[in-house]
Amino acid sequence: MPYVDYEYYQSKFYGTLIPISEFNKKALEASSKVNYYTVGNIDSDNIPTQVKNATCSIAELLYEQEQLKTSITNQNADNKQIASETLGPRSITYLNNNFEISKQILSDSDLNKKIRNICHEYLDDTGLMYRGVYE
């Protein structure tokens, strides 16, 4: 079960990046990541605001990365932008948008580091990430 719904995402987190049609999938994926880093310490009946915000932030990161990967896959000749053009003899140079986009795509390890950093940013002061034993 996701830690956050679309209504919270829009009205409390003020998110606009993820469309409603994609939100549940990304929220569930992000909730799984948050659950991993909190070692299952979250009470699903009383989800703290920090957990909801971390989930929204991770969901946006995951959605953004997916969109970057999709844009490279779907790019075709119609999307090419002219970088330079010579009139005679005619020569056209196109921008390589795939290269610029691919630089923004995170490796799996970098993505996991960024997710972990988001969890630390939102959850460090909650005690939810504590992996030890409480006495």
Specify which residues 79 forms β-bridges with. none
Summarised one tens digit per residue, pLDDT across range 34-85 is 999 999 899 999 999 999 999 999 999 999 999 988 877 665 545 566 666 7
Which sequence spans correspond to the domains of the chain? 6-76+106-126
Cβ–Cβ under 8 Å, residues 126 and 86: no
- Please tell me the predicted confidence (pLDDT) of residue 46: 94
Give the model confidence (pLDDT) of 118-131 as tens digits: 999 999 999 999 88
pTM here is: 0.80
- Confidence at residue 88, expressed as pLDDT on a 0 to 100 scale: 77
Integer CA distances (angstroms), 60 to 25, 34, 134, in order: 11, 13, 33
